Structure 1
Amino acid sequence: MSSPMELYEQLTAQGLAVREIKAQKGEKAEVEAAVQRLLRMKEDYKHLTGRDYQAGRPPARTDDDADPAEDEEEDEDDQVDPWNVSTSSAKGVDYAKLIVRFGSCKIEQELVDRIARVTGKTPHHFLRRGIFFSHRDMHQILDAYESQKSFYLYTGRGPSSGAMHVGHMIPFLFTKWLQDVFDVPLVVQMTDDEKYLWKDLSLEDCHRYTLENARDIIACGFHPDKTFIFSDLDYMGASPAFYRNVVKVQKHVTFNQVKGIFGFTDSDCIGKISFPAIQAAPSFSNSFPQIFGDRNDVQCLIPCAIDQDPYFRMTRDVAPRIGYLKPALLHSTFFPALQGAQTKMSASDANSSIFLTDTAKQIKNKVNKHAFSGGKDTVEEHRKFGGNPDVDVSFMYLTFFLEDDEQLEKIRQDYRSGALLTGELKKCLIETLQPMIAAHQERRRLVTDETVRQFMTPRKLHFSR
């Protein structure tokens, strides 16, 4: 009898086989036979493991699966999906394994160097430090750019509260840099419909959070002539072209596929099952006729955290079957909670997050009280043995927000040697965050209702290509 891992791998291969047969327009009997075999394998898998098969979520290893050459500490798999991120490791998610599991490509130094050559700009420190670590088809985007062809950026935000935290800003800070160095248009999807379907929130609250979060996004410095921010609740009803693409995706993705990708169950509302098609639609340029007309040949580049990748694996799978280009992606790591890298920062836990609305005093108190330390228990031990920056949350946060590479490396070495104490490291972080968030709050204060309307009005954007 197959082990859970072997059956999981067989299921993954059979799912690919079914999609290939359908893509090649195989005979009806051949398709049905392949689908029936897939369904039987899923039943066997559930009987063996006690849970439904989910693509990208292999089973926990058993003794039968174990490879003696592997690290014995890696007992549990990381859980990564669009709604949950967790790991048993104090260092955080194993991103090398995640690349293998998701089938993406590591951002190697060669790609970072090529981006520098093509743009003529120093690569963003998120790229230099591996914060954006994985990609799909980024070389294709650069090929297009060098051939004077257009592309556009697409990222988004699920507005579940009025206040965003610093972890939410990572894709927007990087997207702002991409917009500047490539001089390309950007669409920002506010998935207020998603939050209504998944959270215990009213439609009115979800839409209000969209408008509040839009202020924070605008305060990142996006160019109004190159940026369109839209609410799903508003835009889909006002844009026939957008809705037509949603329907095309819905027709070409089966219920079994979305259950396999996202883990939906029979008790989930039908809105959840249809939502992935809505998140897919901005990947296609003719969803925005006010920007691109009826062109469907403008490729899309999506900067996002890697937990959003399942949506776009689905999108890339369906795109050729409806006559569109596959979107390219750049994936970021997760921004850890203050309590440690086992989970990402959450807006639902005030003490796990540094919010963009926090005062200087609140920032200081949260870092000092809640930031997980990689230091030793006593000053004497720390001076003698040093701390571990790989698990220290204050150091992790500095890798995101301290731009000076030399200063960051000196902090790493001093902390590891014991020359820098935990309290001193936390002080470095506090002194980095306080002015950064204060500056953001000042920019946000200048964002008026009219500014928000300007960014969220469907219109022609201006860009060089």
Structure 2
Amino acid sequence: RFGSSPIDSALLSKFETTLGQPPHFLLRRGIVFSHRDMDQILALHSQGKPFFLYTGRGPSSEAMHMGHVIPFLFTKWLQEAFNVPLVIQMTDDEKFLWKDISLETARSYTTENAKDIIALGFDPERTFIFSDLDYIGSSPEFYRNMCRVQKAVTFNQAKGIFGFTESDCIGKISFPAIQAAPSFSSSFPHIFNSRSDIPCLIPCAIDQDPYFRMTRDVAPRIGCPKPALLHSTFFPALQGCQTKMSASDPNSSVFLTDTPKAVKDKINKYAFSGGGATVEEHKKNGGNCDIDVSYQYLRFFLDDDQRLEKIL
């Protein structure tokens, strides 16, 4: 949709040929399902040319849940497979603008969420995690790129893309430029020696695509490469595959700070089952794994294809 391309068998084969290893199971299973210009990133890597990874987190609670972890686990695999730098933007400014929280609370959420991200094991020599509230004020180059994006996008365009209304605060209207700026290597002169020509690959959930469609439209006009993207589906809430896990609803989410007992209790109490309506029906027809939340969680976390197939 909107010009993205499905991740097909041909692209999966290119992954394997380029990296000398099978594609990540999230790619093989269609959980990471869509892309923009991933073929160009693979070509760059084959030619020995540099690129970097960019992903982010909007810290809206003290602890991340399992749905937040999926993009980071996939990004970690990308970093290891391609051996490239990674920047992680913590959009505490966004949460301050959108949520009824103080700046101090937003910053504290960033600190706690950053601990969760660090615990996943990213390469500390190649990973830069930054808070918008802290970094932008100390980086003239980042702010200049924000200004370039702001000047290149009209209010009507922003309203059409993001659905802004007259009652929205002006901070919301300018925020997309902040999320766009890390797509450009010149925003991080301490990492890329002030180069502006290094392309970027952004693994993200599909709901973030509007930000980066805008960024891709602006990039050539400000003399920067268009960022490439890999899109993933949402991690389902406990209540079923039609809803995504939300940090604001503790009964829909499994948090990284939950104890093993709490996780088990949530799964047993709240997880939507694909079982039959009656015992007899279930014995006759079996369960429906397409809607069974516990099975879907295995699709996201169990990397052994044979074990997953056996369960199915």
- 2:249 pairs, out of 346, 349, 359, with 349
2:117 maps to what in 1?
217
CA distance in 2, matches of 1:206, 1:166: 20
What does 1:10-409 align with in structure 2 at a 5 Å threshold? Answer: 100=1, 102-409=2-309
Q: What is the aligned-residue identity percentage?
A: 72
| CA shift for structure 1 position 162 | 0.7
CA distance in 1, matches of 2:21, 2:118: 23
CA distance in 2, matches of 1:147, 1:363: 46
| CA shift for structure 1 position 262 | 0.3
CA distance in 2, matches of 1:327, 1:272: 22
| CA shift for structure 1 position 171 | 0.7
> What residue identity is the alignment partner of 1:235?
Y
CA distance in 1, matches of 2:302, 2:192: 37
Query: Normalised by the size of structure 2, how large is the TM-score?
Result: 0.99
Point out where structure 1 has 5 or more consecutive residues left out of the alignment: 1-99, 413-465
CA deviation string 1:26-52 (max 9, x = no partner):
xxxxxxxxxxxxxxxxxxxxxxxxxxx
> What residue identity is the alignment partner of 2:165?
T
| CA shift for structure 1 position 378 | 2.2
CA distance in 2, matches of 1:366, 1:162: 19
CA distance in 2, matches of 1:213, 1:334: 19
The runs of at least 4 consecutive aligned structure 1 residues that moved more than 3 Å come to: none
> What residue identity is the alignment partner of 1:157?
R
Q: Secondary structure at the match of 1:410?
A: helix
> What residue identity is the alignment partner of 1:372?
F
CA deviation string 1:47-75 (max 9, x = no partner):
xxxxxxxxxxxxxxxxxxxxxxxxxxxxx
When the two chains are superposed, the root-mean-square deviation of aligned CA atoms in Å is 0.7
| CA shift for structure 1 position 104 | 0.6
Q: Secondary structure at the match of 2:35?
A: strand
Q: Secondary structure at the match of 1:361?
A: helix
1:424 maps to what in 2?
none
Aligned residues: 312
| CA shift for structure 1 position 387 | 1.5
Q: Secondary structure at the match of 1:103?
A: coil
Point out where structure 2 has 5 or more consecutive residues left out of the alignment: none
| CA shift for structure 1 position 201 | 0.6
> What residue identity is the alignment partner of 2:186?
N
CA distance in 2, matches of 1:223, 1:394: 31
| CA shift for structure 1 position 379 | 2.0
**Larger Rg computed on CA atoms:** 1
| CA shift for structure 1 position 103 | 2.2
CA distance in 1, matches of 2:130, 2:73: 18
| CA shift for structure 1 position 373 | 1.0
CA distance in 2, matches of 1:170, 1:109: 22
| CA shift for structure 1 position 342 | 1.8
Q: Secondary structure at the match of 2:251?
A: helix
CA distance in 1, matches of 2:298, 2:45: 32
CA distance in 2, matches of 1:390, 1:170: 19
> What residue identity is the alignment partner of 1:184?
V
CA distance in 2, matches of 1:199, 1:386: 44
> What residue identity is the alignment partner of 2:97?
L
CA distance in 2, matches of 1:158, 1:144: 30
